[in-house]
Amino acid sequence: MALTLTACGGAEEAPEPDTQEASTDSAGSESIFDRIRNLVEDTQQVDSYRARVTGTSEGEPLDMEIAYVSSPEPTMEMVMDTPEGAMTILVRGSEMLMGSAEEGWLRLDAGEEVIPQGSMQDPFEELDHLLASDDVQEEGTEEINGVPTTRYTGTYSVEEAGLREVPFTLWVREDGLPQRYRFTGFEGAEMTMDFLEFNSEVSVEFPSDDQILDLSDLEALQGLGELAGAGA
């Protein structure tokens, strides 16, 4: 099974909108491209959010809860169900931990292949891909989880990941923030991100260094154990 720490990779540079053909709202005051760009920028400026990601990863069901806080440092907690039980991932800057407060934490190197490909879904990164789309269309209104939204559809490409055309549907709240985002990623796997709340009271605890074991230390301990077993 192919494993990686990253999601789809960086979005293509957004094309300049055609000012003569860009779609506008009924008032003709704002293009769809501007609306999407504002959504991406406003979402990245929120103090906190909670989200749920569902779909499939390498043919297996994916169900993940995400909590994010921007202060004192941007920190994200992802809790996903696996065949072995719940897995918690903490991300702060370039630092990534896996584990729990009960069992301890393992610090992962950025290049370590320990998490199923496609299961690491950073909503900020995924929404960034929308800026590479030049075919977004407004498709009407719909209520999602009791919230009135406007629905948009389109496609974008992520050449670094070998994804030439990624279809997506985006449901936008009246305040301009996303309510739901659905896209088709690796090997046709469909992912749905439901944003449950923004700027609410969210707490994400990052462990102290004495609670964290480096992956290199773990590998050294495993190596010592194998040597001890061979000498027995």
* Nearest one of 166, 169, 164 to 179, comparing CA atoms: 169
Task: Tell me whether residue 130 is in a domain.
Answer: yes
Q: How many structural domains does the chain have?
A: 1
Determine the pLDDT at residue 102: 82
Residue 25 lies in a domain: no
Question: Does the global pTM surpass 0.85?
Answer: no
- In the block, tokens 């909108």 appear at 17
> How do the pLDDT tens digits run along the chain, 232 residues long?
333 333 333 334 444 434 333 344 443 457 999 999 999 999 999 999 999 999 987 778 889 999 999 988 899 999 988 777 788 999 988 889 998 888 889 988 654 444 444 445 578 888 999 999 999 999 999 999 999 999 999 999 888 777 788 999 999 999 999 999 999 877 778 899 999 999 999 989 889 888 898 877 665 445 434 444 444 5
Specify the pairing of strand 212-214 against strand 104-108: parallel
Question: Is 15 contained in some domain?
Answer: no
Asked if residue 65 belongs to a domain, the reply is: yes
Pairwise CA distance, residues 185 & 58, whole Å: 11
20 domain-assigned: no
Q: Is omega for the bond preceding 61 within 30 degrees of 0, making it cis?
A: no
Q: Answer whether residue 13 is part of any domain.
A: no
119: domain CATH number is: 2.50.20.20
Beta strands per DSSP E along 30-177:
48-57, 60-69, 75-82, 85-92, 95-100, 104-108, 137-144, 147-158, 163-173
Q: Which domain holds residue 205?
A: 39-226
Whether residue 16 lies inside any domain: the answer is no
What is the rounded CA–CA span in Å between residue 189 and residue 161?
14
DSSP-assigned states of every residue in 136-157: -EEEEEEEETTEEEEEEEEEEE
pLDDT for position 118: 45
Q: Report the SS3 class of residue 29.
A: coil
Residue 22: what residue type?
A
Radius of gyration of the chain measured on its C-alpha atoms:
20
**Residue count of the chain:** 232
Displacement of CA 48 from its chain's centroid (Å): 14
In terms of Cα–Cα distance, which of 33, 12, 36 is closest to 163? Answer: 12
Residue 10 lies in a domain: no
